[in-house]
């Protein structure tokens, strides 16, 4: 079955008969389900299930529940979700190129893809393609609600089929696309039928274009592609090539200009010095020197090549809604050996990581550490109170002595990022609660050269917790140590309960390894031993949140790890704002199962045992 295709246009159609959906950048696919057959066919007629076994595995898990609805046919987009409104196309390309079964299985397990269903074509074996789109959408959402599928894409959800919502309001979807850096919007006529293989004007696609002003450096003699560049300091850097969008009348003008002004040529190219500036639309930049879907926009005759800079190109790659004001986007925040990290780079890190970061900030009073002049500037201060100039969308909660910020959404996260809040610290309980919902063990080595002690301590703790059947998760502090998280059911255990456990654990570890570990609070008495900072777990205290950056010189990130990664060769400096996004794309989130583990912890049984036996050592 060939999919129905939208027609491109620059602006949204007018009238009340249109509904609007986010457009995702992935692999278009038709999913067909029957009792004895599953197929996922690409736009080019290729079976995708061997490349994406996670989709088939999920379907098999729900088949008994949907048997009465079969056969079913869905139209959708196969994606790797970065956030509710954006797929990462580079990750999809990487997955699509895998051929090794073992690598495919690993990727499907650690960092699975998702089919986003946006249309229902058949249900109970009956074709509904002739029904109006709005009716098909209603039936699709009815099916999704019955099967408890996410009605808005959720990257952290374990359902491998999720649904794409729509809106009657174009401006709402547009704002979400700009906020989440999405690909674009699809406008659909509410009364339209689904027509196999047809490019239709009942569906329109609108792209979320980024635009860069650059200069021409070369012309391909054979295929007429223009090579585009910008200045990075004094060096000319290629950013991509463009051909589409150039009008026939302009092609000959460009060819003549480049040929007549070329400083050299070879068998394939004419080469010219920077002089002719053009404006180019694109969806995103990737692989250093490629633009996705580049489109020639216009000549920029009033621009000089010296103003076509790498900094301007970097800023142009990202879109933000009007509600998120970005000031000084090219301000340097970190100076690393490989690059200068600017404010807009930092904001993009926050946006990329938001689906994994925000759950750990949700409904927790925030303490941030702000660096008003960037980490390079040195000055920093803690902020607990919401400032008077905070926008209305920033949610707050009244604590005993201050009004605290709740960083519950991407808008607030980006606003904080623009204020150069670099570190995000949260308490161990949610706002309005007095009991912790996690216990965190902070392992603080005496310096960066002693990270191996943190690894040793974490593995000892893991072994101890395993004997107690307690699930635990480990992350780097982003600075020099490790932190072990033990999730607890909410509203059950007090800080006195958790203190009893940490005292037991601290006594056990320091007693068994007195030369390596200590609970001594005075730094000068610790020597070269690692400090087990268990007293930090207390009401009123905070800890760095998972995926929060740190204000150090290597742009460290508090990074969740898998336990089997704790090996001597790893370094704390491996985990930075430059490396963590790609790590998530390839390995997923090691904390993904934390919520599931929370309700299954036998912590009460462990406490009962400790209470029963805690006096015996003193009685012997």
**CA separation for the pair 305, 317 (Å, rounded):** 19
Q: Which of 356, 373, 376, 491 is nearest to 424 (CA)?
A: 356
How many Cα atoms occupy the beta-carbon half-sphere of 254 within 13 Å? 28
> CA angle 398-404-407, nearest 5°?
125
Cα dihedral sign, 63-66-72-73: negative
> Which tokens sit at 165?
């919502």
Q: Which helix (H) or strand (E) holds 561?
A: strand 560-561
> CA angle 370-373-375, nearest 5°?
70
Q: Given 2, 23, 135, 207, which residue is catalytic? A: 23
> Is residue 540 exposed (0-12), middle (13-18) or buried (19+ Cβ within 10 Å)?
exposed
- DSSP class of residue 131 equals S
**CA separation for the pair 357, 554 (Å, rounded):** 20
> Which tokens sit at 405?
């910020």
Q: Which of 75, 89, 73 is nearest to 6 (CA)?
A: 75
**CA separation for the pair 59, 112 (Å, rounded):** 14
Phi/psi of residue 563, each to 5°?
-60, -35
| Rg from Cα positions in the chain | 27
State the virtual CA torsion across 305, 311, 312, 315 in degrees, nearest 10.
160
Is 23 among the catalytic positions?
yes
**CA separation for the pair 438, 205 (Å, rounded):** 45
**CA separation for the pair 177, 184 (Å, rounded):** 6
Asked if 508 and 464 touch (Cβ cutoff 8 Å), the reply is: yes
Q: Which of 322, 19, 349 is nearest to 177 (CA)?
A: 322
Asked if 520 and 531 touch (Cβ cutoff 8 Å), the reply is: yes
Q: Which of 493, 515, 517, 521 is nearest to 506 (CA)?
A: 517
> Which tokens sit at 147?
């099967």
SS3 (DSSP) at 446: coil
Expressed in angstroms, the distance from the first to the final Cα of the chain is: 78
- Beta strands 184-189 and 18-23 are antiparallel
Q: Which of 87, 84, 81 is nearest to 112 (CA)?
A: 81
162 forms beta bridges with 116
Phi/psi of residue 87, each to 5°?
-105, 150
Q: Which of 161, 48, 206 is nearest to 153 (CA)?
A: 161
How many Cα atoms occupy the beta-carbon half-sphere of 415 within 13 Å? 21
- DSSP class of residue 244 equals T
Residue 265's contacts (CB-CB under 8 Å, 6 or more residues apart) are 221, 271
116 forms beta bridges with 77, 162
Phi/psi of residue 281, each to 5°?
-85, 150
Residue 325's contacts (CB-CB under 8 Å, 6 or more residues apart) are 418
Catalytic residue positions, numbered: 23
């Amino acid at each position: 079955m060939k999919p129905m295709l939208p027609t491109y246009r620059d602006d949204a159609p007018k009238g009340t008969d249109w509904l609007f959906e986010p457009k995702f950048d992935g692999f278009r696919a038709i999913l067909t389900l029957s009792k004895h057959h599953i197929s996922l066919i690409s736009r080019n007629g290729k079976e995708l299930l061997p490349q994406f076994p996670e989709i088939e595995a999920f379907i098999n898990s729900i088949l008994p529940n949907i048997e009465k609805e079969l056969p079913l046919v869905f139209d959708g987009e196969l994606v790797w979700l970065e956030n509710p409104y954006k797929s990462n196309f580079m990750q999809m390309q990487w997955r699509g190129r895998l051929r090794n079964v073992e690598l495919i299985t690993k990727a499907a397990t650690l960092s699975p893809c998702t089919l986003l269903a946006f249309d229902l074509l058949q249900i109970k074996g009956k074709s509904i393609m002739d029904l109006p789109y709005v009716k098909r959408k209603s039936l699709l959402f009815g099916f999704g609600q019955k099967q408890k599928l996410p009605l808005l894409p959720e990257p952290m959800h374990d359902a491998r089929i999720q649904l794409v919502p729509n809106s009657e309001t174009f401006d709402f979807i547009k704002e979400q696309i700009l906020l989440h850096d999405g690909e674009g919007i699809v406008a659909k006529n509410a009364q339209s039928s689904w027509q196999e293989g047809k490019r239709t004007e009942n569906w329109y696609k609108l792209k979320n274009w980024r635009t860069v002003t650059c200069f021409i450096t070369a012309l391909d003699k054979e295929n007429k592609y223009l090579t585009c560049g910008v200045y990075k300091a004094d060096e000319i850097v290629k950013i991509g090539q463009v051909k589409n969008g150039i009008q026939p009348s302009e092609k000959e003008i460009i060819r003549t200009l480049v040929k007549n002004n070329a400083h050299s040529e070879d068998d394939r190219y004419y080469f010219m010095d920077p002089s002719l500036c053009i404006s180019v639309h694109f969806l995103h930049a990737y692989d250093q020197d490629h633009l996705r879907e580049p489109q020639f926009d216009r000549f920029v005759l009033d621009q000089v090549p010296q103003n076509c800079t790498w900094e301007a190109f970097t800023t142009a790659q990202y879109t933000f809604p009007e509600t998120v004001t970005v000031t000084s986007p090219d301000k340097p925040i970190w100076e690393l050996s490989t690059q200068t990290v600017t404010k807009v780079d930092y904001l993009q890190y926050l946006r990329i990581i938001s689906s994994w970061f925000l759950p750990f900030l949700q409904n927790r009073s925030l303490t941030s550490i702000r660096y008003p002049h960037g980490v390079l500037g040195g000055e920093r201060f803690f902020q607990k109170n919401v400032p008077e100039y905070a926008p209305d969308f920033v949610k707050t909660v009244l604590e005993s002595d201050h009004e605290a910020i709740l960083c519950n959404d991407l808008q607030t996260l980006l606003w904080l990022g623009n204020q150069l809040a670099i570190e995000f610290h949260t308490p161990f309980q949610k706002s309005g609660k007095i009991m912790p919902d996690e216990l965190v063990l902070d392992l603080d080595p005496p310096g960066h050269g002693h990270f191996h002690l943190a690894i040793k301590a974490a593995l000892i703790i893991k072994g101890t917790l395993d004997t107690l059947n307690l699930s635990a998760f480990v992350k780097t502090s982003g600075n020099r140590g490790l932190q072990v998280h033990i999730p607890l059911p909410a509203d059950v255990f007090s800080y006195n309960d958790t203190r009893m456990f940490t005292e037991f654990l601290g006594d056990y570890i320091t007693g068994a390894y007195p030369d390596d570990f200590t609970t001594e609070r005075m730094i000068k008495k610790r020597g070269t031993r690692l400090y087990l900072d268990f007293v930090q777990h207390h009401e009123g205290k905070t800890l760095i949140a998972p995926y929060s950056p740190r204000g150090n010189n290597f742009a460290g990130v508090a990074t969740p790890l898998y336990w089997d990664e704790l090996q001597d060769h790893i370094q704390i400096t491996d985990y930075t704002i430059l490396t963590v996004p790609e790590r998530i794309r390839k390995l997923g989130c090691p904390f993904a199962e934390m919520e599931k583990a929370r309700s299954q912890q036998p912590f009460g049984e462990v406490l009962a045992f400790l209470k029963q036996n805690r006096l015996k050592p003193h009685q012997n």
